[in-house]
Amino acid sequence: MSTLQIGLVLPDVLGTYGDDGNALVLRQRARMRGFDANIVRIHLGDPIPTSLDVYCLGGGEDTAQILAAEHINTDGGLHKAAAAGRPILAICAGLQVLGESFRADNRMVTGAGLIDATTGSLKKRFIGELQSTPHPNDGGITAGLTEPLTGFGNHFGSSILGSDAKPLGIVTHGVGNSDTEQPTYEGAVQGSIICTYMHGPVLARNPQLADLLLAWALDMPMSELQPLDLPVVDKLRRERLQR
């Protein structure tokens, strides 16, 4: 196959929380299996290419994420990629920006409308470890996830999902999408888009999620990806899940 193209969308405004690492993890896990892979960094003001193999969006501060939403909506490239079924991973502010609307800087802002979610505010900012078990999401892109998900949360947004979006996980520790609703859901999945509040970066902590995205980007079943023996990743995961 030709070189795998991994889009890192707006790292200049959605790059506060180390989530650029998700693109690095995808590139490394591809290269370790013998695939050529490149990261395409798309900055504020750049057109968003429509035909990359996978897209990553990170978290960001309130003012910065407003700029991100405006650019994504004006440009339209990410909408075309989503309509074509390209896999997209969005973290925290990325989740909020891809939703219908979100609260930031004390006002409601129009999101990209790619995820059926509306983001208001938590009762209290959540900062800490976050864990979930994958939601079954029958027939959805994340249906193959079996391993617990782990990440680090730091958010004030509270995202309520509409019927078109399914949760990524059910919270077992920490605060996910909301601190009032029961059960407490974490993240959102809709079509080819996977969103989560988990930083870490999430793909470093959750190799199964990384491989799910990678397999989709490479257009092959996850079961055909050569297994990787990475004791350091297993150790990190064990440590984080033990707490």
Binding site listing for substrate: 125
- For the bound state, the minimum distance from the C-beta of residue 211 to ligand GLN, rounded and expressed in Å, comes to 24
- For the bound state, the minimum distance from the C-beta of residue 226 to ligand GLN, rounded and expressed in Å, comes to 33
**Is 199 part of the annotated catalytic residue set?**
yes
Question: 151 to 190, contacts with ligand GLN by CB under 6 A?
Answer: 154-157
**Is 92 part of the annotated catalytic residue set?**
yes
Contact between 59 and ligand GLN by CB under 6 A: the answer reads yes
Indicate the residue among 29 and 155 with the shorter CB distance to ligand GLN.
155
**Which two three-digit tokens encode residue 116?**
């059926």
* Count of residues in contact with ligand GLN, rule CB under 6 A: 12
Contact between 62 and ligand GLN by CB under 6 A: the answer reads yes
Nearest residue to ligand GLN, scored by beta-carbon proximity: 59
- Give whole-number Cα distances, 150 to 37, 52, 161, 236, in Å: 26, 27, 21, 10
Scanning 27-35, 53-61, 80-88, 168-176 for contacts with ligand GLN by CB under 6 A, the matching segment is 53-61
Say which of 92, 135, 155, 195 is annotated catalytic. Answer: 92
- For the bound state, the minimum distance from the C-beta of residue 53 to ligand GLN, rounded and expressed in Å, comes to 24
Question: 6 to 25, contacts with ligand GLN by CB under 6 A?
Answer: 17
- Give whole-number Cα distances, 125 to 61, 128, 178, 182, 197, in Å: 13, 10, 11, 18, 13
Catalogue the active-site residues: 92, 199
Q: By CB under 6 A, name the binding residues for ligand GLN.
A: 17, 59-62, 65, 92-93, 154-157
